[in-house]
Amino acid sequence: MNDQFLTELENIMAGSGIFMEEPMKKHTTFRVGGPADVLVQPDETALAAVLGLCRQHHVPYSFIGNGSNLLVGDKGIRGVVIEMTEPMGDIEVQGTRITAQAGAMLSKIANTAASNGLGGMEFAAGIPGSVGGAVVMNAGAYGGEMKDIIERVYVLDENGAQLELDRDALDLGYRHSCIPDKKYIVTKVVLELVPRDEAEIRSEMKELNEKRAEKQPLQYPSAGSTFKRPEGYFAGKLIMDAGLRGYQVGGAQVSEKHCGFVINKGDATAADICQLMRDVSDKVQAQFGVVLEPEVKMIGEF
């Protein structure tokens, strides 16, 4: 990454929203991760220019949203990290449709929907992520998934061309879409919701959030559910039945409140978390013959 590249990048970002040697633990809900060489928070116009510059100079780049389903290696991330955040957080309501930029938080969209008497996003109100990341992994909770409410998604392809994809083109399944495989970048999402009484919406959102607080270790940093749900099983129950409740490696621990969560007790490293996940997976497979697949995405150098 040469001086010319950095000068051009600073020009694109107009001197703001650009951070050098940025600790990634400040940008993930796990609160771990080494430094990114450069982290930028572009708006939609700057995004295309940043991508073009990285390709021109052959500088690697990666994307994050709210960092809520992410484990960054202790050695950090080389190249440019593009964080979809507030400059990409616009939300618009037209009839029963909500159009949101990729950096808009699910909780904010859900509240906007409620205020406009639009139901369908209740399940997402307590998910601590951005809508772009939620589309990429088809996030879901309490019986709802993003695929239930997506109408279409706007993405940039590897060449920087914008594509419009309807729901069927996204190949949405359990914690899956075609977006990572095709190396698309989500810029905007159109959601189709249904009219519903605001009081009913907010009552359901309150009920679901109370369930989360009761069952999940929200007082500790984590990345949510650590493993995908194996077909026919529940990851948390398998981990509990394997005698791993409270199992700890360094500062990482299997939550005593919900065994499906790996938590940061305060000083965990990415290495601690990775070792704990390997230990848990190995012990569950040895006892029950079930392979646990991580739901947490890992990026950077470990």
Note the helical H segments in the chain.
3-12, 44-56, 106-115, 131-136, 198-215, 235-241, 270-288
pLDDT of residue 180: 93
pLDDT of residue 16: 87
Instruction: Inform me whether the pLDDT recorded for 281 exceeds 90.
Output: yes
CA distance 41 to 92: 21
What is the average per-residue pLDDT within 220-228? 95
Which of 97, 167, 175, 245 is the catalytic position?
175
Instruction: Inform me whether the pLDDT recorded for 216 exceeds 90.
Output: yes
List residues bridging with 94 in a β-sheet.
Answer: 97
* Mean pLDDT (the chain, rounded): 95
pLDDT of residue 160: 85
Domains of the chain: 3-86 (3.30.43.10), 89-200 (3.30.465.10), 217-299 (3.90.78.10)
What is the average per-residue pLDDT within 139-168? 93
Instruction: Inform me whether the pLDDT recorded for 1 exceeds 90.
Output: no
CA distance 264 to 278: 16
pLDDT of residue 282: 98
In the residue annotation, 225 being an active-site residue is answered as yes
What is the average per-residue pLDDT within 241-253? 97
In the residue annotation, 175 being an active-site residue is answered as yes
* Residue type at 266 in one-letter notation: G
- E-strand ranges in 102-234 read 118-119, 140-141, 144-145, 150-156, 162-166, 185-192, 194-195, 222-225
What is the average per-residue pLDDT within 164-181? 94
Two structure tokens written together for 85? 């955040």
DSSP label at 130? B
C-beta pairs of 207-214 under 8 Å, 24+ apart in sequence = 208/122, 208/123, 208/125, 208/126, 208/141, 208/142, 209/125, 209/126, 211/142, 212/126
What is the average per-residue pLDDT within 90-101? 98
Two structure tokens written together for 100? 């949101």
Residues 6+ apart with CB under 8 A from 7: none
Q: Is the pTM value of this prediction over 0.85?
A: yes
pLDDT of residue 59: 97
pLDDT of residue 159: 83
In the residue annotation, 255 being an active-site residue is answered as no
For residue range 23-80, what is the model confidence (pLDDT) as tens digits? 999 999 999 999 999 999 999 999 999 999 999 999 999 999 999 999 999 999 999 9
CA distance 202 to 150: 21
CA distance 34 to 13: 23
Q: How many residues does the chain have?
A: 302
Choose among 188, 169, 189, 192: nearest CA to 179. 169
Confidence tier at 9 by pLDDT (50, 70, 90): very high
Confidence tier at 158 by pLDDT (50, 70, 90): confident
**The dihedral sign for the CA sequence 40, 43, 46, 50:** positive
